[in-house]
Structure 1
């Protein structure tokens, strides 16, 4: 059998960090704070810190594993190598279903800021098709577009924060409101699970391990740098929103950052923030599509997805069939999805993914160990707790979709056994 065609290594540390930032900025800043405030009130600040700790544990596990296994697939690959095919499959399935939901949410967020309500779903689908076309023509095109998007979003956020603090309603005394613990620890843990949705972009760096130059050095560095930068950005924005709108105002707003800006004298900045939100969502969507294509490629290589998807384009060196299939599925989700419901569902799938990552890193030998085992144990515990405290509807849908995935693989293994194909 001919060996699968490899992807091209064209990304350096700066490009990898940029892709991670682009993937996280759109998800967190403009989407996740509203449900987190509804769950925890001002306690979302504690939830943000907890989500950051769990994300850091997951990031170090991913970095340690990516250095040892610098190929496409992320935790799908790591789980297979360290824990066995079933663990890898559960991680890969969690990533694909969770990030498909994230991609649909980002496309819908873009459309919500860009066009009137009646046009949002078709425009969201058009955005998916456009960005798949960008990815189709090579990973360097992805990195170049992401650099532009990240630069614009960071400038917009700087304007938004400055405009928000310029209003008469802004004050540090409003940040804690009725108290950080007013909604209890369960609400805080639930907010942490929802805010984890905003941190998951660094996974895109690991899933592109086959396209990074000097991956043993580049991937660990890029993951830690991207995550550290995003924690600072999120903290500044969270404090700003609470100071201007209060916890109840954040929970009630579909566009909290735009509303915070509108409360001040810089009204010209409101459309700037709206454009920035649309661009941020595009940046996140671009990274999501790239990561989904690479994980689908890895799963197809092992026949956990149809082997037809394992093709690499002979000229552009990208998993072109996988990315086209991803676009079709995302568009189907957009046709029926609810934006807010996608956040908890996505968090469920991605937390399961990182649970497998931490368990995989725990089994690595001393020669491959870069971080203390205590971080991986904390990551396992954190992922399990955050999954258990997500909204009940998200847990129910997540469990059902994972059950479907298990049935699908059992059916495939049964067919292989009857035909004498090794699983």
Structure 2
């Protein structure tokens, strides 16, 4: 039996994976949370996060082309730096993305609980049930997951189009004083927004499964970031047009609450639930691939690296992923989980940029200064956000 996953994901599949990993929690939760922090500086915070994501995305693409295997920076750390860097990157990735998945699952659970008027204490169990459902889907194989991703992305984009269209066509809240924010708050919001861009990492993490990686991975990363930047800016402008978000509550974080027309609000809510479900699906897939790589390296028990009979899924790694995400969902909250994800993922991508600087000139398609700026932006956002 082969110890390599099958390369059956082309450019379209890679794009769907990237968009499916980003468009949910980023558009339906993170932009609203960042609006509370950055106030009228929301769009600038989005642009700072987008620029940081572009540099880090290019570094990730560079590494994925030079070393196209599952595992992301965990593998890149081993290949281009040293075993210690690889282990740290693997741990950071699992924590960061498990926290992101828990955030998305909890957000969906809150939507469901409010819609069905069930007690708040059930929310965490609904979140775990959602994680279990998508774990089973991932175990069914990546090809089936790609088709489901395409459907999730399509419906979630419809919800965002409805939000932007209805929001911008509504009367602006000119009577509401714009929220002001300090420069440090701006960078804090940018750090939280950066997490909302990092779905491109799923593309690199699944490098072993993407066909023609030298051509498809860079294209998929750049196109994904361009599309998602436009979406976030449109959502951000709509939030500001509707008066911004003055406060954040555990059960009142969704952008649908800003829609003045109640008859259209459910369309946005539905889009949010479906979008965030797509995020959970892709994060279960991405984190399991890193745990798979750690099992292959011996940093986790060898049984973790076992593949299914058709070499299209990694059962042990996927179930471990489910367990970690479930624990975070059971013992954490939305805001805390997202903040944890932000800080750990920035450090993770700092290591990514350091590794990208070690790629040989013959394999390089981006200049080194891109990775240097990416490194400085990652650690700069961590420092400035911590001071905010």
> Same fold, TM exceeding 0.5?
yes
**Once the 2 structures are TM-superposed, how far is the Cα of residue 251 of structure 1 from its aligned partner?**
8.9
Cα separation, 1, equivalents of 2:24 and 2:372: 29
Which residue of structure 1 lines up, in the alignment, with residue 82 of structure 2?
84
2:169 maps to what in 1? 166
Structure 2 residues without counterparts, runs of 5 or longer: none
d(CA) in 2 for partners of 1:332 and 1:248? Answer: 31
**Which residue pairs with 2:376 in the alignment?**
381
Structure 1: gaps (5+ residues): 394-423
Does residue 223 (structure 1) correspond to residue 213 (structure 2)? The answer is: no
The number of aligned residues is: 383
Q: What displacement does 1:119 show?
A: 2.5
Are the aligned partners of 1:37 and 1:250 in contact in 2 as well (CA < 8 Å)? no
Deviation (angstroms), 1:231: 0.4
User: Could you tell me whether the CA contact under 8 Å between 2:30 and 2:193 is conserved in 1?
Assistant: yes
The aligned runs of 1:348-387 (5 Å cut-off) are: 348-387=343-382
Describe the shift of the 1:268–1:277 C-alpha distance in structure 2 as closer, same or farther (beyond 3 A): same
Once the two structures are superposed, the pairs formed by residues 11-410 of structure 1 within 5 Å of their partners are 11-115=9-113, 116=118, 117-169=120-172, 177=178, 182-248=180-246, 254-261=252-259, 263=260, 266-315=261-310, 317-391=312-386
Q: 2-side partners of 1:38 and 1:165: how far apart?
A: 19
Runs of 4 or more, structure 1, over 4 Å off, are 249-253
Q: Are residues 119 and 161 of structure 1, via their aligned partners in 2, closer, same or farther at CA, if it must alter by over 3 Å? A: same
Q: Judging changes above 3 Å, is the alpha-carbon distance between structure 1 residues 323 and 253 closer, same or farther for their aligned structure 2 residues?
A: closer
Tell me the alpha carbon deviations over residues 207-252 of structure 1, each in whole angstroms, 9 at most, x when there is no partner: 1111111111111111111111100000000010011123536899
Q: Give per-residue Cα distances to partners, 1:248-300, cap 9 Å, x unaligned.
A: 36899933421221x2xx32111111111111110000110000010110111
**1:8–1:210 CA contact under 8 A, matched in 2:** yes
Change (3 A) 1:330 1:251: closer
Distance 1:119 1:164 in 2: 32
Aligned counterparts of 1:5 and 1:335: Cα–Cα separation in 2: 34
Which moved further from structure 2: 251-260 or 54-63? 251-260
Higher mean displacement: 209-218 or 383-392: 383-392
1:307/1:363 Cα in 2 relative to 1: closer, same or farther (>3 Å)?
A: same
Distance 2:132 2:205 in 1: 21
Tell which deviates more after alignment, 230-239 or 212-221. 212-221
Pick closer, same or farther for the CA change 1:360–1:113 going to 2, 3 Å: same
Deviation at 1:37, TM superposition (A): 2.4
Asked if the contact 1:253–1:259 (Cα under 8 Å) also holds between the matched residues in 2, the reply is no
Tell me whether 288-297 or 269-278 shows the greater mean CA deviation: 269-278
Under a length normalisation based on structure 2, what TM-score does the superposition of the two structures give?
A: 0.94
State the TM-score, normalizing by the size of structure 1: 0.86
**Greater Rg over alpha carbons, structure:** 1
Is the partner of 1:268 in helix, strand or coil? Answer: helix
Mapped to 1, the partners of 2:84 and 2:16 lie a distance apart of 32
Cα RMSD (Å) of the superposition?
2.0
Does the CA-based 8 Å contact 2:71-2:293 persist in structure 1? yes
Contact (CA 8 Å) 2:357, 2:368: kept in 1 or not? Answer: yes
Give, in whole Å, the separation in 2 of the partners of 1:246 and 1:200: 24
Instruction: Give the 3-state SS of the residue equivalent to 2:14 in structure 1.
Output: helix
Cα distance between partner residues in 1 of 2:92 and 2:2: 24
Look up the SS of the partner of 2:190 in the other structure.
Answer: helix
| TM-aligned CA deviation for residue 303 of structure 1 | 1.3
